[in-house]
Amino acid sequence: MLFNRRQFFKICAGGMAGTTVATLGLMPNVALAQTRQFKLLKSKETRNNCTYCSVGCGMLLYSRGDGAKNAESSIFHVEGDPDHPVSRGSLCPKGAGVLDYIKSEQRVKYPEYRAPGSDKWQRISWDEAIDRIARLMKEDRDKNFIEKNEQGTTVNRWTTTGWLVTSAASNETGWLAFKVARSLGMLSLETQARVCHGPSVSSLAATYGRGAMTNNWNDIKNANVVIVMGGNAAEAHPVGFKWAIEAKITNGAELIAIDPRFHRTASVADHYVPIRAGSDIAFLLGIINYLITHNEVNYDYLVTHSNASLIIRDDFNFDANSGLFSGYDATTKQYDQTSWAYQKDENGFALRDKTLNHPRCVWNLLKQHVSRYTPEIVNKVTGSPIEGFLHVCRSLASTKTNDRAATFLYALGWTQHSYGTQIIRTAAMIQLILGNIGVMGGGINALRGHSNIQGLTDVGLLSNRLPAYLELPKDSQVSLQQYLDEKTPKPLGPNEVNFWGNYPKFFVSFMKAMYGDKSTIDNNWGFDWLPKWDKTYDVLRFSKMMRDGQANGFICQGFNPLAALPDKNSIREGLSKLKFLVNIDPMPTETAEFWKNHGESNDVDPSKIQTEVFRLPANCFAEENGTIVNSSRLLQWHWAAARPPYEALYDPEIIARIYLRIKELYEEEGGAYHEPINNLTWDYQDPEGPSAEELAKECNGRALADMTDANGNIILKKGQLLSGFSQLKADGTTSSGIWIFCGSWTEQGNLMARRDPSDPSGKGIHAGWAWAWPMNRRVLYNRASADKNGQPWDPKRVLVKWNGSSWDGNDVADFTATLSPSSGAGAFIMNNDGLGGLFCLNRLVDGPFPEHYEPFETPITNNPLHPNQINNPVARAFKEDLARLGDASQFPYVGTTYSITEHFHFWTQHARLAAISQPEQFIELSENLANKKGIKLGDTVKVTSYRGYIKAKAVVTKRLPTLTVDGKEVETIGIPIVWGFTGQTKKGFLVNELTPHLGDANSQTPEYKSFLVNIEKVTTAA
Ligand code: SF4
């Protein structure tokens, strides 16, 4: 008996699960007619991790091949790894269907070339592709390389070709791409983090010292209150979300969802509060106001571990009428941050009043700042019902005691705004006030999206970064000494750990990893070889440069900017002006085909586009060794189960071949300054194919001379792998590509490959599973789980404690191991005051406290708090992009984007099972709006913004409530992002036809979550 898809789902919808259908003999009919062989017989099992989201679920890949010399192994089955402490054998729908991705018939099979003006691909050889790409890159570099700026400073930069480095490639691939790009002098070197969790890094680092998820997936089970806001964990991180459910079941936790949509998380929450997209800061500052005015504060923790008691300069202020902090310059649209600072004593140490009485202490300034955010104002700005808001306040307040903790889980719903950094910061401040940072079950948990976007951020693939959160020198830093002086903070208290005080050790060790013996004290470790930046060449700036004809080349490695960057039509315009575009990907992307006519979804005339385009087939996750870092900083080593298929190559092979060919051309012909290209370390066994193992060891680092302890005993011989970053030196005797990864592959072996799932604490601390940066700590800032004497606030939830001579406990102390609490050093060792920052000094460009600003396209055309300053005054907004904004008179509804469980961005459209489960583009709207517009379920609708339109099927739902905001009815249209015009799903529109090309003030992450649209019916459902 045969069924079509519709009939099959009809049967399933009638109450029978797919397996039941099979058992009844309805499909497939042969399978049950005989005894089945054990399907894994004779297979090889390989451990790997899911390539989609950053839960990092364990996967077992089963392949066949008899192991004979020329036999290729082939993956035929994938299932969850039952040993994995986070996923415990589970996989979500897309993870469970990943075999269809690995084996997709759509994989790019061989190198292809699209000539200028052509409407088709032509097959070329690898040699032809590499030769031509190297030639184009060299030509562009030679023509546009800048050795010195106008002031005569050596800057050695190349800005006219950009490189986007993926989100799921291994750290080792990312490190190799970093080395090559920086040796060429590239400044526009970016990764997916720029468009997703950039604000997590800027906000959490500004508050706590590091820009990463504070706790970990398993630890969520220890929470008493779980707040999911700015994300939809049940949908986007389904397997990680099981730990929130575990908290409910075993810990009696309350789960609260706050979102514009009653989504899948809300459907299993104890409490749901609707909120207008983009108004989160008002809601969160309202919570702080509630906690202060109701005295719901953990004062012991606040005074011990936050900067509440430190005194701020007299000239700092916030003007509630203008909506601006002191120091604003309307001409440059920037703040002078001089006044955002502590008052200091004669030793340069910050003044402090532990009684919190001083009128200029942070606590009193904060009280004054948030006093405007009453429940009534919160309701007016957000549309959230007052009672719902107060319920959240009361639940959170219940965790101010030492025996209770709340955790926040968030994702792109918080990051993708023109003030995304400050949303996250507001929540981070709430957690300091309640004493919920550094403790079990607490934290601000940034749920990263892509499988290795945490790792690739750690690798430093952002235009102005070096690995492990070092900064690339600016062109105003004219010497190594000036650079190191400016980047090495001085302690703000007498005994602070001030870990960034080690900056020179990290920097010099990094330079030794890049340039080996060529990097010496006499040439300032090769300081001049690094490109110096004059401004950030983030993706928004680079896309503007493309549009303006200031960019010529673009390498897109596992990245699909036509789909991923905002305002698709402006991105397409930019790509059309390039000389060349190189795509390195396992799958055909929309970017690679931007020049091709795909009907209404991409209506272009190829003959008018002169860009040369290359499409190079790369490996996918299942075909490589290496590490990826999940959301909770866990470096998990994975192994290849098969070779890349067809003519595909490993990413490192592709990068190596391009680099080596360029180097060869420079040797043959000379050209623009190429000393850094020649000097780059490249001592790999196979120069054309550096192995993941070699690269991982380079990231960890080695002793470059015999290393001795205080008594002169040799602890490491020259060439041996370092045990941790405390061994790094600034004298050139150590190397380490990525200092926070130092300790991951030591003389003991590859600690990232460890597979011991045991948890002696019973609290979700699986210290023997893989390796977490830094130094295998599982909860960041865990020193703050103890009081000023080093004793745990809660004896039932011990992370670390002082035993009289050192720190011990269930976790590795995030503190100097033998530093006594009596030293008075603060728990937040990356901050030079040792404290969690309620006031964040000069680390953010848009204010030391958060403030509510409206999205650039706002449905209420006003900022109820200060009508004269509607938007973030220092957001990333180019003049021509401000001219491409709509207003509520033409576009009255709020558009907001999101993903769905069954798909992963623009990848799974190539996986058959995922394409079957969600085959066609849809949008969601409320019943109220649908009635007004005469739209019914299944109608085709057109959603239009100032910048473009999409057409999709309408889903009319109760999930999107109509809200009253500032006296006005506000409707939200929900727009999933997962379809495009390539793949096995029905051809759809890229959603960024609609989104505005502007971004967050601190991280330049685009504002995808709140913009204005209109909607109309196109055709009625059949
Ligand atoms: S997509 Fe995320 S939750 Fe789903 S299987 Fe993969 S890692 Fe796990």
pLDDT in tens, 34-73: 566 677 777 899 999 999 999 999 999 999 887 777 778 8
- Distinct helix (H) and strand (E) counts, the chain: 29, 40
671: phi then psi, degrees, rounded to nearest 5: 145, -165
Confidence of residue 193 (pLDDT cuts 50, 70, 90): confident
**Which residue's alpha carbon is nearest to atom 4 within ligand 1?**
92
Mean pLDDT over residues 71-95, rounded? 95
**In the chain, pLDDT over 70 holds for what percent of residues?**
96
Q: Is residue 55 in contact with ligand 1, taking CB distance under 6 Å?
A: yes
691-212-655 Cα angle (round to 5):
25
Mean pLDDT over residues 807-829, rounded? 97
Atom of ligand 1 nearest to the CA of 52: 1
pLDDT at 33: 54
Gyration radius of the chain's alpha carbons: 28
In the predicted structure, residue 23 carries a pLDDT above the cut 70? no
Q: Is residue 52 in contact with ligand 1, taking CB distance under 6 Å?
A: yes
**Which residue's alpha carbon is nearest to atom 3 within ligand 1?**
239
pLDDT digits (tens, 9 = 90+) for 262-307: 999 999 999 999 999 999 999 999 999 999 999 999 999 999 999 9
From ligand 1's centre to the CA of 622, what distance in Å? Answer: 15
- Residue 647 and residue 130 in contact, taking contact as beta carbons nearer than 8 Å: no
Q: Is residue 450 in contact with ligand 1, taking CB distance under 6 Å?
A: no
Count of CB atoms situated within 10 Å of the CB of 365: 22
In the predicted structure, residue 398 carries a pLDDT above the cut 80? yes
pLDDT at 19: 35
pLDDT at 34: 59
659-663-667 Cα angle (round to 5):
170
- Residue 503 and residue 484 in contact, taking contact as beta carbons nearer than 8 Å: yes
**Sequence-separated (6 or more) residues with CB below 8 Å from residue 34:** none
Before 82, cis peptide (omega within 30)? Answer: no
From ligand 1's centre to the CA of 913, what distance in Å? Answer: 15
pLDDT at 1021: 86
Listed residue (586, 558, 483) closest to 190, CA to CA: 558
- Residue 510 and residue 737 in contact, taking contact as beta carbons nearer than 8 Å: yes
Q: Give the span between the Cα atoms of 427 and 417, in whole angstroms.
A: 15
79, 84, 94, 167, best to mutate for ligand 1 pocket (most atoms within 8 Å of CB): 94
Listed residue (540, 590, 537, 539) closest to 560, CA to CA: 590
- Residue 964 and residue 386 in contact, taking contact as beta carbons nearer than 8 Å: no
In the predicted structure, residue 30 carries a pLDDT above the cut 50? no
Before 774, cis peptide (omega within 30)? Answer: yes
Sole residue written with tokens 């727009």: 975
Calculate helix-pair angle for 539-547, 568-576, nearest 10 degrees. 60
Written as six digits, the tokens of 972 are 């939200």
Q: Is the dihedral of CA 424, 430, 433, 435 positive or negative?
A: negative
Written as six digits, the tokens of 590 are 């929309």
The residues pairing with 186 across neighbouring beta strands, listed in sequence order, are: 158
pLDDT at 35: 63
Listed residue (358, 93, 258) closest to 917, CA to CA: 93
pLDDT at 13: 41
From ligand 1's centre to the CA of 993, what distance in Å? Answer: 28
pLDDT at 276: 98
From ligand 1's centre to the CA of 900, what distance in Å? Answer: 12
359: phi then psi, degrees, rounded to nearest 5: -65, -20
DSSP secondary structure code for residue 90 in this structure: -
C-alpha atoms less than 13 angstroms from C-alpha of 32 in its C-beta half-sphere: 11
**Which residue's alpha carbon is nearest to atom 8 within ligand 1?**
57
> How far from 45 is each of 58, 77, 626, 741, CA to CA, in Å?
13, 10, 17, 28
Count of CB atoms situated within 10 Å of the CB of 526: 21
pLDDT at 166: 84
Q: Give the span between the Cα atoms of 481 and 263, in whole angstroms.
A: 53
Q: Is residue 57 in contact with ligand 1, taking CB distance under 6 Å?
A: yes
1016: phi then psi, degrees, rounded to nearest 5: -145, 155
Listed residue (627, 683, 673, 620) closest to 650, CA to CA: 620
Count of CB atoms situated within 10 Å of the CB of 98: 28
Q: Is residue 53 in contact with ligand 1, taking CB distance under 6 Å?
A: yes
Q: Is residue 58 in contact with ligand 1, taking CB distance under 6 Å?
A: no
Q: Please name the helix (run of DSSP H) or strand (run of DSSP E) that holds residue 627, with its range, or none.
A: strand 626-629
The residues pairing with 808 across neighbouring beta strands, listed in sequence order, are: 801
Atom of ligand 1 nearest to the CA of 95: 5
Listed residue (401, 387, 445, 407) closest to 227, CA to CA: 407
From ligand 1's centre to the CA of 95, what distance in Å? Answer: 5
pLDDT digits (tens, 9 = 90+) for 339-358: 999 999 999 999 999 999 99
pLDDT at 37: 66
Q: Which residues of 650-679 are buried (b: 16+ CB within 10 A; e: fewer)?
A: bbbbbbbbbbbbbbebbeeeebbbbbbbeb
pLDDT at 41: 74
pLDDT digits (tens, 9 = 90+) for 857-868: 999 989 999 999
1009-1012-1013 Cα angle (round to 5):
115
- Residue 121 and residue 129 in contact, taking contact as beta carbons nearer than 8 Å: no
Pinpoint the alpha helices (H) of 597-734: 651-669, 675-679, 692-700
> How far from 752 is each of 216, 290, 389, 958, CA to CA, in Å?
16, 44, 43, 46
Mean pLDDT over residues 122-131, rounded? 98
945-946-951 Cα angle (round to 5):
35
Average per-residue pLDDT for the chain: 94
Q: Give the span between the Cα atoms of 318 and 338, in whole angstroms.
A: 14
- Which amino acid, residue 428? A
| Structure-derived torsion over alpha carbons of residues 329, 335, 338, 340, reported in degrees to the nearest 10 | 130
pLDDT digits (tens, 9 = 90+) for 897-910: 999 999 988 888 99
- Residue 540 and residue 999 in contact, taking contact as beta carbons nearer than 8 Å: yes
Q: Give the span between the Cα atoms of 692 and 928, in whole angstroms.
A: 55
55, 232, 900, best to mutate for ligand 1 pocket (most atoms within 8 Å of CB): 55
Listed residue (521, 449, 305) closest to 978, CA to CA: 449
pLDDT at 182: 98
Q: Is residue 168 in contact with ligand 1, taking CB distance under 6 Å?
A: no
Q: Is residue 255 in contact with ligand 1, taking CB distance under 6 Å?
A: no
- Which amino acid, residue 491? P
> How far from 313 is each of 306, 339, 360, 384, 498, CA to CA, in Å?
18, 6, 7, 36, 22
Confidence of residue 842 (pLDDT cuts 50, 70, 90): confident
Q: Give the span between the Cα atoms of 958 and 834, in whole angstroms.
A: 48
In the predicted structure, residue 5 carries a pLDDT above the cut 60? no
